[in-house]
Amino acid sequence: MRNTLVIGNWKMNKTLEEAVELVVRLKEKATDFPPSAEVVLAPPALYLASIAMLEEPWHKLAAQNCSHHDYGAFTGEISAPMLKSMAVDYCIIGHSERRTYFHETDALLAAKVDACLRNGIQPVFCCGEQLKQRKEREHFVTVLNQLQQGLFHLTPAQLSDVVIAYEPVWAIGTGQTASPEEANEMHTFIRQQLSSHFGEVAANDLRILYGGSVSAGNAASLLACSDIDGALVGGASLHVRDFAAIIGAAS
Ligand code: PGA
């Protein structure tokens, strides 16, 4: 049985004061969150310690990125062992913004997945096609290629610590979400491909999140789909009422 996972990706937003206020205000709603939903906050790395110190049992923490190195002379970088020492459980890897703006390659992302796994952090591996690729009916082959490059070197046991987030690039931050049918079709495809490579048991246990303009209005219909096991939420996770409503839809 896969429990529903809702991750709020704050990206590069909020001052420390605003970040703490958001957590405190979400806490007021936490008693209404469905017990079956796992809630994860991914604030800017700079705030992970402050938010971890609040010791709120209703959520876990994710980082938005990490280095593929464990330590060393890499100015400005944050490593998976550092995240682990801050009670971080998950790390988003391969978000389309990192692939595009920071030129992160498939090989680098595979190395980041490895860094997470060897340090006890669960990677949330993002994949998804551009609008042009969907229009040209290349979305399945694009996503399959991302999975092959980023994850297919793992063992089935390692895969059990991975979460996948399908985020069609054209739906991120645009208000233009994939329909539940479009999203579920891709999720089913992803699970089938993982099943052929890693075996049915590993694929059935894997959580595949949808991301891309998830809102209080569309969360319930997306999360009701058979192969959608949660949501990676960007913009709406910055607003208490919206994010709480999305978590509420995860029953
Ligand atoms: P969005 O972002 O919900 O604002 O579309 C999702 C994401 O980038 O993870």
Whether 250 shows a pLDDT value over 90: the answer reads: yes
| Topology given in CATH for the domain delimited by 5-248 | TIM Barrel (3.20.20)
Which of 64, 167, 223, 238 gets mutated to test ligand 1 (max ligand atoms within 8 A of its CB)? 167
Burial (CB < 10 A; 0-12, 13-18, 19+), residue 170, is buried
The residue whose C-alpha atom lies closest to atom 3 belonging to ligand 1 is 234
Which of 210, 232, 239, 242 gets mutated to test ligand 1 (max ligand atoms within 8 A of its CB)? 232
The residue whose C-alpha atom lies closest to atom 9 belonging to ligand 1 is 234
Spatial distance between the Cα atoms of 215 and 217, rounded to a whole number of angstroms: 5
Distance from CA of residue 24 to its chain's centroid?
Answer: 22
Ligand 1 atom closest to 9 (CA): 9
Confidence of residue 251 (pLDDT cuts 50, 70, 90): confident
DSSP conformation letters of 168-190: -GGGTTTS-PPPHHHHHHHHHHH
The residue whose C-alpha atom lies closest to atom 2 belonging to ligand 1 is 234
Ligand 1 atom closest to 171 (CA): 5
Ligand 1 atom closest to 165 (CA): 9
Element (H, E) at 211: strand 207-211
DSSP conformation letters of 23-91: HHHHHHHGGGS-TTEEEEEE--GGGHHHHHHT--TT-EEEES---SSSSSS-TT---HHHHHTTT--EE
Over the stretch 123-175, which tens digit does the pLDDT of each residue have?
999 999 999 999 999 999 999 999 999 999 999 999 999 999 999 999 998 98
- 59 touches 39 (CB < 8 A): yes
Which of 92, 97, 233, 237 gets mutated to test ligand 1 (max ligand atoms within 8 A of its CB)? 233
Q: What is the pTM of this model?
A: 0.97
CA of 236 to the centre of ligand 1 (A): 8
- Sign of the dihedral through C-alpha 232, 144, 161, 115: negative
Element (H, E) at 156: helix 156-159
Over the stretch 15-66, which tens digit does the pLDDT of each residue have?
999 999 999 999 999 999 999 999 999 999 999 999 999 989 999 999 999 9
Spatial distance between the Cα atoms of 217 and 82, rounded to a whole number of angstroms: 37
Mean pLDDT, all residues of the chain: 96
Q: Compute and round to an integer the Cα radius of gyration of the chain.
A: 17
Domain segments of the chain as ranges: 5-248
Confidence of residue 82 (pLDDT cuts 50, 70, 90): very high
Task: Report the pLDDT value the prediction gives residue 244, as an integer from 0 to 100.
Answer: 97
164 closest CA partner among 243, 92, 97, 83 = 92
Distance from CA of residue 139 to its chain's centroid?
Answer: 19
Over the stretch 170-219, which tens digit does the pLDDT of each residue have?
999 898 888 999 999 999 999 999 999 999 999 999 999 999 999 999 99
Ligand 1 atom closest to 126 (CA): 9
- 66 touches 80 (CB < 8 A): yes
Ligand 1 atom closest to 213 (CA): 5
- 35 touches 2 (CB < 8 A): no
Side-chain half-sphere CA neighbours of 230 within 13 A: 24
Spatial distance between the Cα atoms of 83 and 123, rounded to a whole number of angstroms: 12
Residues with CB under 6 A from ligand 1: 9, 167, 172-173, 211-214, 232-236
Amino acid at 47: Y
Of all residues in the chain, the percent with pLDDT exceeding 70 is 100
Does residue 167 carry a catalytic annotation? yes
The residue annotated as part of the active site, out of 95, 104, 139, 187, is: 95
In sequence order, the β-bridge partners of residue 40 are 7, 60
The residue whose C-alpha atom lies closest to atom 1 belonging to ligand 1 is 234
CA of 9 to the centre of ligand 1 (A): 7
